Amino acid sequence: MSDPTMNEQSHEQPLWRRKGPLAAAAAVLVISALALSVYWARSGPAALPSGQPLTIVTEPSSIHGTACLMAVRPSVQMRRSGSEVVFSQNGQDEAITWPYGTTAWLVNGQAELFAPDRTLTAIEGQTLPDLGGGLGGADDRFHVCAIGGRSYPH
């Protein structure tokens, strides 16, 4: 008479054969993730221009998880005043605080504003429509957290 436990064990595949496809799939995922991270590290966002940095007011650091108030700001025009960039509406300067990582540069004699992802946002003399954000608690500045419909951490 045969032993039922022997019969079950004889039909069972070895552990390495049962786990093989799962381990292979995990290895493919790990290698793919590493390849993507190397690609992104090398390509990264566009490089900032070579030029002279200009002064703008930005948030002191990126605070992830803070909600964007998303009030829409009327259009403002960008211009340079010495070594800083100022923004005005109907000829009156406006107090604006930009998201952390926003930069301004003097390139070929014109001010250029770059979003935190290094996208060229405006060139001196242009009007910036569609700024989202809200008034800060301790100041009367408009704190931008969205430029052209794209949100940035603030």
Per-residue model confidence as pLDDT tens digits over 3-33: 555 555 556 666 556 666 666 665 556 566 5
37, 88: one domain: no
Do 73 and 142 touch, CB atoms closer than 8 A?
yes
How much is the average pLDDT of 66-89? 84
Do 95 and 137 share a structural domain? yes
Pair 105, 111: CB distance under 8 Å: yes
Q: Confidence class of residue 102 from pLDDT cuts 50, 70 and 90?
A: very high
* pLDDT of 84 over the 60 cut: yes
Q: Which of 39-48, 59-68, 113-122 shows the lowest mean pLDDT across its residues?
A: 39-48
Domain hosting residue 85, numbered range: 52-151
Average pLDDT along the chain: 75
Looking at the structure of the chain, the number of domains it has is 2
Q: What is the mean pLDDT of residues 55-75?
A: 72
pLDDT given for residue 69 in this prediction:
62
Question: pLDDT at residue 153 above 80?
Answer: no
Residues 95 and 22 both lie in one domain: no
pTM check: above 0.85:
no
Tokens of 4: 């039922």
134 and 69 belong to one structural domain: yes
Query: Residue 119: its pLDDT value, please?
Result: 87
Same domain, 94 and 38: no
